[in-house]
Chain A
Amino acid sequence: MAEGHRRDVAAYSDLVTARSGSLFRTAYLMVGDHQLAQDLLQEALVKTYVAWPRLRDVAKAEAYTRRTIVNTAISWRRRRSFHERPLDVLPDAGVADRVDELATRDALWVQLHLLPPRQRAAIVLRYYLDLSEAQTAEAMGCSVGAVKSQTSTGLRRLRDRMGPEVALFTTTDKGMTS
């Protein structure tokens, strides 16, 4: 093995060791299924391996892998329809006020995964990874305007489906929801 290639493999190994846990959690939030998340992470990390010769930096590579997770998840959604859930697990929109918080969270989780994948991705990147709109745009490969649109549409759908009693955000979050 050439010395340069050996260094690349070592650096790639560092990325996988240090960041795969975090990347897996992002993948899981994107697809909502443990096995699919693992498949998604594997695919993204293999793509990152192929692209490594021009990344060669763990921070850069992590951003690349995260972006690949988002793009691949969107492609897989179209190809495999993995997002589709049986309707019998869906609560009706007005049920939120009649069940306890745990059930409401379950309902919100289901509704999150019924969103179109770009809206879901925008919400996960903004509110789980705390990326700025510009960083989210970079991760999704779209404009800041598109991020704003995808996020606000996704949040509006969640509010419509969960009912007005369910507060999606705390007061301190509110500044980020516009």
Chain B
Amino acid sequence: MNGMLRELLSERADAAGSHDLDLLDLIAHGERRVTRRRRVALAGTAAAVALSVGASLALVQAGDGTSPPVSPPTDPPSNADVLPDTADPSRPLTYGVNATIYYGDRIIEAAEDPDGLYVFDDGLWFFTGENEGTSTTHLYYTDGSSEPVEIARGIDRVTPGEVGSLLVWQDGDDVVIYDTNVRDVVARVPLNGQRLGNPIIPLEDTVHWREYDDTADSISDGRSVRYDVSTGTRTRVSRADERAAGARAAGPPHLVVGSADSRNPAEDFTVIDSRLEFDTDAQGARPPVFVAATGERLRVTVPDGYEGESLGVRQWLDDDRFALVVHGTGGIGRVPTGDLLVCRISSGECRTVASGEQDWLLPGAFGGVGAEG
């Protein structure tokens, strides 16, 4: 029986037979995932804008010495609503209420209120402490069933790559590039100068940012930089390249307005006769909304009680399901403080998965993507 372990491993591996994966099928799966992430990125980008407004409102409320009443979801969502479709891996419905994070059917209690949630294939990353200065910012990872593990601290500008597996942040004078698939830092790139307020834009294979030296007079003076992760090279690029990276990060929309071949995204809706209808355009008309992938008209009904309400798309769970949040009436833009719903395009139905007037924290690129200047 000497050497049993090695022999056993070799013997069982040899006896495992062969897989019957089809190369073309793998490539098709990969292409679908790339496409979906680009579509999801758009919702994340829109969410980032709304979240910034939401954060402003939260500060205003804190300044008043009052805070909104918080209650757990009143109508626990069914697994079918919130869990990934295991046949075609997608991402679970994820949202935060104060220090509690709902991640599919898992509930995660963070040590303090998170400031950003990022969902990737292998789990959830979130950070806390954004408003307390970078020295206390903490980035955590959890797969939903284990205690959150701290990945980094004292960092700034955490930004997810919606079209790939990269998560990036700034740590002092370095841009740190982390791969969520392998859960490790794959590059740490010193900045040549300061980065100022421009976003860091992670794509599948490159990361873009802008650097400023001491001679910069305005935010438009910086050098646009592309870092190629595969080769470890940094290249100065044009503003056009930078804008193209921003556009690529956003990707094509999932729902479009006007016609099936439109590129104009449909993200905000009003409930008319229990149906989701696009908000009125400049002429006061309500143009139709189409599903970009199929070209079919979007026909989705919401439960009773939302007539006349305004809702915004905040998370795509897969090609068929998206999460909407009812915009509150706080008076500062469209603040996501109402109920949270999940809609299925295929069935044309929506279901309320969480209720209450509260400041939801939803996944997305907190810093947004795109370029200035």
Q: Is A124 an interface residue (CB 8 A)?
A: yes
Q: Is B165 an interface residue (CB 8 A)?
A: yes
Q: Is A122 an interface residue (CB 8 A)?
A: no
Closest to A172 in B: B3
Q: Is A135 an interface residue (CB 8 A)?
A: no
> What sequence of 0s and 1s flags, for each residue 44-78 of chain A, a beta carbon within 8 Å of any chain B beta carbon?
01110111111111001000100110011001001
Interface of A (DSSP majority class): helix
Tell me which of B9-17, B130-138, B313-321, B340-348 binds A: B9-17
Q: Is B282 an interface residue (CB 8 A)?
A: no
Give complex CA distance A167, B37 in Å: 50
Chain A residue numbers with a CB within 8 Å of B183 are 71, 141
Q: Is B145 an interface residue (CB 8 A)?
A: yes
CB B3 to nearest CB in A, in angstroms, measures 4
Contact (Cβ within 8 A) A21 B18: yes
Q: Given A28-B13, A54-B205, A105-B11 in contact, is the A47-B19 Cβ separation under 8 Å? A: no
CB A150 to nearest CB in B, in angstroms, measures 15
Give complex CA distance A78, B5 in Å: 25
Contact (Cβ within 8 A) A54 B13: no
Give complex CA distance A50, B203 in Å: 11
Q: Is B368 an interface residue (CB 8 A)?
A: no
Contact (Cβ within 8 A) A141 B182: yes
Closest to A41 in B: B19
Give complex CA distance A106, B232 in Å: 47
Q: Given A71-B183, A170-B2 in contact, is the A20-B19 Cβ separation under 8 Å? A: yes
Chain A residue numbers with a CB within 8 Å of B17 are 34
Chain A residue numbers with a CB within 8 Å of B11 are 105
> What sequence of 0s and 1s flags, for each residue 26-46 of chain A, a beta carbon within 8 Å of any chain B beta carbon?
101100001001100111011
Q: Report B76-114 residues with CB < 8 Å from chain A CB.
A: 89
Of the candidates A24, A55, A101, A109, the one whose C-beta lies within 8 Å of that of B12 is A109
Of the candidates B2, B19, B21, B143, the one whose C-beta lies within 8 Å of that of A75 is B143
Contact (Cβ within 8 A) A67 B182: yes
Closest to A104 in B: B1
Q: Is A17 an interface residue (CB 8 A)?
A: yes
Give complex CA distance A167, B3 in Å: 7
Give complex CA distance A128, B6 in Å: 6
Of the candidates A42, A51, A171, the one whose C-beta lies within 8 Å of that of B204 is A51
Of the candidates B5, B16, B30, the one whose C-beta lies within 8 Å of that of A50 is B30
Q: Is A147 an interface residue (CB 8 A)?
A: no
CB A75 to nearest CB in B, in angstroms, measures 5
Q: Given A54-B229, A169-B5 in contact, is the A68-B23 Cβ separation under 8 Å? A: no
A-B residue pairs in contact (CB < 8 Å), sample of 17: A17-B23, A24-B16, A37-B16, A38-B21, A41-B19, A43-B121, A46-B26, A49-B27, A50-B33, A54-B205, A57-B230, A75-B123, A78-B143, A105-B4, A128-B10, A141-B182, A170-B3
Q: A47-B165, A64-B181, A71-B181 are in contact. List 12 more A-B contacts (CB 8 A).
A: A26-B13, A28-B16, A34-B16, A43-B89, A71-B122, A71-B183, A127-B5, A128-B10, A128-B13, A171-B2, A173-B5, A173-B6
Minimum-distance CB pairs A-B, first 7: A49-B30, A53-B205, A54-B205, A170-B3, A28-B16, A25-B13, A128-B9
- Chain A residues with CB under 8 Å of chain B are 9, 12-13, 16-17, 20-21, 24-26, 28-29, 34, 37-38, 41-43, 45-47, 49-57, 60, 64, 67-68, 71-72, 75, 78-79, 101, 104-105, 108-109, 112, 123-124, 127-128, 141, 158, 165-171, 173
